[in-house]
Amino acid sequence: MSTFVPLGFGWQPDLPDGRDRTFRDCEIMETLKRLPAQSGVVLPDVVDLRRDSDGVYFTDVDDQGPLNASSAFAVLALLEYFERRIHARTFDGSKLFLYQATRHRLAASQHPPADAGAEIRGTLKTLMQIGVPAEKSWPYLADRFTTDPSPFVFSDAKPIANLYYVRLNDPNHSGDQTWAIVRSFLAAGFPVVFGFSVPSSLTLDADIPFRPEHDATRGGQAVVAIGYHANRYGPDQDALLIRSSWGRRWGDNGNGWLPVAFVRHQLARDFWTLISADWLDSGELSRPVICG
């Protein structure tokens, strides 16, 4: 199969920051421990958070096109999941607005801002502090990137209250430690946004190859982990089910499989999820096993 070259990428790795709130933070851990424990002590071999008997939790995969806006797409897909699963409503946030607002925060002196991608942390921070209007207020049109949204569009964006963005991996963690944490959260119903180095051997096939000794890196891409499959490629060769922003033409309608070897070899990093005390009584989430 011929290689697939995305038009845009956009994940910038987070720089270390001691202010990051992790799932081990006292307040976060207290919230997580109020969730019901998962049945059994062994995590399931297969998790798929796209849907269950109660509903479908993601809308169709979008296409970011030529802009390096993957962090905005991934973060808004993460928020969409919780809105649909916890509150049974769909919020279609403006990807272009979130990307522009994040770029302005990262490089305030540049006007218009450069299309240089964004950190996941910075994108989450922008979402929480500035908010995001509805997609219909500021549609995703690549040629609008250098145009500032109107005051009306800004007025439609409201900061999000009672919601924490939580880092799952520590810079000192091994890849195996990170995978154990991420798997625990996925099994408890929490999707996870992260970034990875896209190999030059990427094709339209849903299974992304892991062959670092042969591949160059095309760019960094932010995606959402929406499940996993233990031993998909053989014993102890697990895979993450990911949601891209390359449109439905790629993979399985825009979803695909990333070998966990990317995590173990630190080619996938910056794992984040969302948590709110308002979700505790929904019955939709459980306590990650890693939280005791």
Give one DSSP letter per residue of 180-235, joined into a string: HHHHHHHHTT--EEEEEEEETT-BSSSB----TTTPPEEEEEEEEEEEEETTTTST
As a whole number of angstroms, the distance between CA 179 and CA 101 comes to 31
Count of the separate structural domains present in the chain? 1
Reported as a single tens digit per residue, the pLDDT across 209-235 is: 999 899 999 999 999 999 999 999 999
What is the pLDDT at residue 3?
Answer: 82
Q: What's the per-residue H, E or C state across 34-63?
A: CCCECCCCCCCCEEECCEECCEECCCCCCE
With a threshold of 0.85, does the pTM exceed it?
yes
Q: What are phi and psi of 204, to 5 degrees?
A: -75, -15
Question: What domain range is 184 assigned to?
Answer: 11-15+26-287
Bigger pLDDT: 292 vs 285: 285
What is the pLDDT at residue 1?
Answer: 61
Per-residue pLDDT at 118 exceeds 80: yes
* 266 assigned to some structural domain: yes
* 280 assigned to some structural domain: yes
What DSSP state is assigned to residue 162?
Answer: S
* 4 assigned to some structural domain: no
Reported as a single tens digit per residue, the pLDDT across 76-106 is: 999 999 999 999 999 899 999 999 999 998 8
Cα torsion angle, 17, 218, 9, 60, sign = negative
Percent of the chain with pLDDT over 70: 99
* 194 assigned to some structural domain: yes
Cα torsion angle, 17, 222, 71, 50, sign = negative
- CATH number of the domain encompassing residue 37: 3.90.70.10
Cβ atoms of 52 and 283 closer than 8 Å: no
* 212 assigned to some structural domain: yes
* 292 assigned to some structural domain: no
* 221 assigned to some structural domain: yes
Nearest to 73, CA basis, from 21, 29, 120, 22: 120
* 20 assigned to some structural domain: no
Nearest to 245, CA basis, from 55, 129, 77, 48: 77
